[in-house]
Amino acid sequence: MSKLRIAPALLLIALAALLAACGGSDSGSSSSAAADSTAAAADTCAKDQLALKNAGQLTIGTDKPAYPPYFEDDDPSNGKGFESAVAYAIAKQLGFTADEVKWVVVPFDSSYAPGDKTFDFDVNQISITEDRQKVVDFSTPYYTAPQAIIVAADSPLAGKTMLADFKGAQIGVQVGTTSLDAVESLIAPTAQAKVFNNSNDVVAAFKQGQVDAIVTDLPTALYLTAAVLENAAVAGQFNAPGGDEWGALLQKGSALTPCVDKAIEAMKADGELDNLTMTWMAEQAGAPELK
């Protein structure tokens, strides 16, 4: 009788041990699969695994002319200027040397148009908006820019402190920019803003007296008043609705997008992005704020 009682118990113990062994095996397989998945995801951002327009070459787009403080001497390839420096820092994070980077000219309003791109990513003070995100990819932001108003230094508008003070001004702005959105939503001028194809045309209109003021991002405003426009001043800066975040622009659904994200996040984590911002964009702090 005792043997009949013990045998089932032993059988249960044996079965439990077998089940435990099977459970341990499944857990190990699951952990191994997760590790393999993580490794595979990391490998997609290895240089030799990147989905590029041209093998072994990182192709970066921007507009021409390329203005300071984003680019120096109208030459994106020299590594000078905020966006040139950021682009090369991203390239380095992705494993590219400077001589493996090629720049191509991409007009601003063409960069975010639907369709195939001639570049791997584009940097050109391109604001991240919902409408643009429907047809292109954006990286995580690398800069948040305020807007600014440029006026003649001897204009009655100089020294104004409120956005409402500019409602009666004839304002000039570049087509397709968030500056135009900011003018319409925050200033709402009584005269419709004059819209121009590019920044050169906006500057020419200001010089010719066709417009009383220019609205653009603050770094550009600081450069224009310092190096391009005589007798002009930054009346002040203001924040665009929802902020004006700039990101690297990529073709919609690009496999490179998460890798550029990863590069920018690494630059934020180690302080490199802050250093580049301070090096090239520090002057913005001095412009008064418009309420």
How buried is 53 (Cβ within 10 angstroms: 0-12 exposed, 13-18 middle, 19+ buried)? middle
Same domain assignment for residues 196 and 258: no
**Structural domain includes residue 63:** yes
> CATH code at 201?
3.40.190.10
151 near 235, Cβ under 8 Å?
yes
Query: Of 287, 264, 259, nearest to 276 (Cα)?
Result: 264
The pLDDT tens digits along the chain (291 residues) read 433 344 444 333 343 333 333 344 444 444 454 445 445 555 799 999 999 999 999 999 999 999 888 999 999 999 999 999 999 999 999 999 999 999 999 999 999 999 999 999 999 999 999 999 999 999 999 999 899 999 999 999 999 999 999 999 999 999 988 899 999 999 999 999 999 999 999 999 999 999 999 999 998 899 899 899 999 999 999 987 666 899 999 999 999 999 999 999 999 999 999 999 989 987 666 688 898
| Concatenated DSSP letters of 53-118 | SBTTBEEEEE-SS--TTTSSTT-GGG--SHHHHHHHHHHHHTT--GGGEEEEE--HHHHTSSS--S
The residue segments making up the domain with residue 66 are 47-144+244-282
Does residue 12 fall inside a structural domain?
A: no
- Same domain as 134, residue 92: yes
What pLDDT sits at residue 67?
A: 87
Quick one: 71 and 133 in the same domain? yes
Return the structure tokens found at 279.
Answer: 């090096």
| Whether residue 154 is found in the same domain as residue 230 | yes
Please give the tally of structural domains in the chain. 2
User: Does 180 share its domain with 261?
Assistant: no
Same domain, 183 and 249: no
Is 4 inside any structural domain?
A: no
Q: Does a structural domain hold residue 19? A: no
181 and 196 share one domain: yes
Note whether residue 291 is domain-resident.
no
Query: In this structure, is residue 36 part of a structural domain?
Result: no
Does residue 26 sit within a domain? no
**Is residue 16 in a domain?**
no
Give the H/E segment covering residue 172.
strand 171-174
Final residue of a structural domain among 206, 222, 238? 238
The two beta strands, 249-251 and 136-138, are: antiparallel
